[in-house]
Copies of this chain bind each other. A is one copy, B any other.
Amino acid sequence: MNQRTAAPFFLDCDTGIDDALALAYLLASPRADLVGIGTVSGNVSAAGGARNTLDLLNLAGHPDIPVAIGAHDPQVGTFHGGAPHVHGDNGIGGVDLVPSDREPVKQTAAELLVQLAHQYAGELRLVAIGPLTNIAEALRLEPQLPQLIAEVTIMGGAALAPGNISPVAEANIANDPEAAAEVLAADWNVTLVPLDVTMTNVLEEHHRQELLATEHPVSQALGEMLGYYFGFYIDIFGRACSAMHDPLAAAIAVRGVELTLAPTVRVQVDTTHGPGRGQTVCDLRGQYAGFPEQRGARCRVVLGIGEDFAPHLLGTLQAAWLTEEQAAAPVA
């Protein structure tokens, strides 16, 4: 990795199969230097997500990146127990990874984020691909966080697309609407990567076969995990494939994909207890006239990307794995 051109990244996640893909992508991208990871309950518990993250880092040969366990419960209510029907009981599709002997750091995810935001002041990019509980907590711990963080990219919400855990709500936001409302109201510019693009850029079975055929332990593990994930998505798409929520958000954060439609608009999170709870209410009424500027709007909502994402994702992963192999090969 070329540290001179790579920006420092903090990943907040709930690892999760697509989180594992996002993590692998950030490790592989020459534009990202992953300096810390926090976990939050979502696809699995915060502690379970940290375990998966440590094991994946170990498998990927990155034992140096600190992992901090974050919030177990959302701001209102308690953790619902995860999504084993989507991600398997262990969060990574039942795949058994070699257990890492590393432990999470003693800090909470919010504390680690605040520490790294100071250490990389003005440079740190935050990618949040789970519920936003830790990020809201970090904003309360350090009210200057919006000035310290360079960029925030969030996988979450649904703008004009249907939701995935209610007709209008996406799981990351709906798992902690109050935290999401705080994060989107904070004094920073946010790029929101909603279901509108993550459900329309899918990984197909031939992509999965390509991962399974690649001689790298992370590639094989991802291919196996995706077998489980594809099983869930058969009911959604009518065929074996999967959405790519989290890796797409990671790729957008590293500017790996071109955005063709991403208006900056007002976004409000529904924190009522009505049928809209957890919805990201995006003001897209300007769509018929090319989205005129909205005063006070600070959330860029990604509605379209310019290329087929799967080849970029696989290409980035495989380029990194090939480089590793070449570096490890004995000099001829």
Q: Which residues of A contact B (CB under 8 A)?
A: 160-164, 166-168, 199, 235-238, 266, 268, 270-276, 279, 281-285, 287-290
Q: Are A276 and B272 in contact (CB under 8 A)?
A: yes
Q: Told that A162-B283, A237-B288, A238-B290 touch, could you supply 14 new A-B pairs with CB distance under 8 A?
A: A160-B161, A160-B162, A167-B281, A167-B283, A167-B284, A167-B285, A168-B276, A236-B285, A237-B289, A238-B289, A270-B274, A272-B272, A272-B273, A272-B276
Task: Give the contacting residue for A162; candidates B163, B199, B272, B285; CB below 8 A.
Answer: B285
Chain B residues in 8 Å Cβ range of A238 = 288-290
Task: Give the contacting residue for A289; candidates B166, B168, B235, B281; CB below 8 A.
Answer: B235
In Å, the complex CA distance between A240 and B287 comes to 16
Q: Are A276 and B284 in contact (CB under 8 A)?
A: no
Distance from A177 Cβ to chain B, minimum over Cβ atoms (Å): 10
Chain B residues in 8 Å Cβ range of A276 = 168, 270, 272, 274-276, 279, 281
In Å, the complex CA distance between A274 and B288 comes to 25
Chain B residues in 8 Å Cβ range of A270 = 274-276
Top-10 shortest CB links A-B: A276-B276, A272-B274, A272-B272, A167-B283, A238-B289, A275-B281, A162-B284, A268-B275, A162-B285, A270-B276
In Å, the complex CA distance between A149 and B271 comes to 38
Kindly report which residue of chain B lies nearest to residue A269, judged by CB atoms.
B275
In Å, the complex CA distance between A26 and B166 comes to 38
In Å, the complex CA distance between A26 and B81 comes to 55
Return 26 A-B CB contacts under 8 Å, by A number: A160-B161, A160-B162, A162-B283, A162-B284, A163-B285, A166-B281, A167-B281, A167-B282, A167-B284, A168-B279, A168-B281, A199-B288, A236-B288, A237-B288, A238-B288, A238-B289, A268-B275, A270-B274, A270-B276, A272-B272, A272-B274, A272-B276, A275-B276, A276-B276, A276-B279, A276-B281
In Å, the complex CA distance between A167 and B297 comes to 13
In Å, the complex CA distance between A57 and B270 comes to 44
Task: Give the contacting residue for A164; candidates B161, B236, B272, B285; CB below 8 A.
Answer: B285
